[in-house]
Amino acid sequence: MSFSSIEKLIRDVPDFPIPGIVFKDITPILQDPAAFQQVIDGLAAALAPLDPNVVVGIESRGFIFGAPLALQLKLSYVPVRKVGKLPAATIRETYDLEYGTNAVEIHEDAIRPGDRVVVVDDLLATGGTASATGRLIQRLGGETTGFGFVIELGFLNGRRALNGCPVSSLIRID
């Protein structure tokens, strides 16, 4: 499956969220139902063979792709959110960004021991957010069987932060 037409829809936004960062805006993909469906189909094809029973979506754009992917694969869906956004008891992991630090949380009861989890987000940059999410899953007794991204910024080597876990990216920018 070629994603060159999808790649053409990605809009670069310079100096967002801070000067020097070129933000990869996926909203044009969402405005094109055929492109959006192609992304979900591509992620499903890449991640279904990993035999997951849970899809985790990372806030916020991971929600956009993770929830419909979970529905398509008929799997449960779990959000990983920024600090203070989940209503029940949570656990937290901190991580480094290419432009600072942050933290993510998951409900304490979201993952059961033995769950096989795939993690979805729109973009793999340095791998900090995805790695922190993997640690949350592990702390709850789950196994991260793979990561799926719409875009991977290969020049930032984010795969290294994911400890050899399978990574599927539909579009790789080197």
- Residues annotated as catalytic (active site), given as ranges: 61, 98
Tokens of 113: 């021991």
H helices of the chain, where? 4-7, 27-30, 33-47, 61-73, 128-139
Which residue type is seen at 75?
L
CA 16 to chain centre: 19
CB 32 within 8 A of CB 5: no
How many whole angstroms separate alpha carbon 117 and alpha carbon 170?
Answer: 19
Answer whether 126's CB lies under 8 Å from 160's CB: no
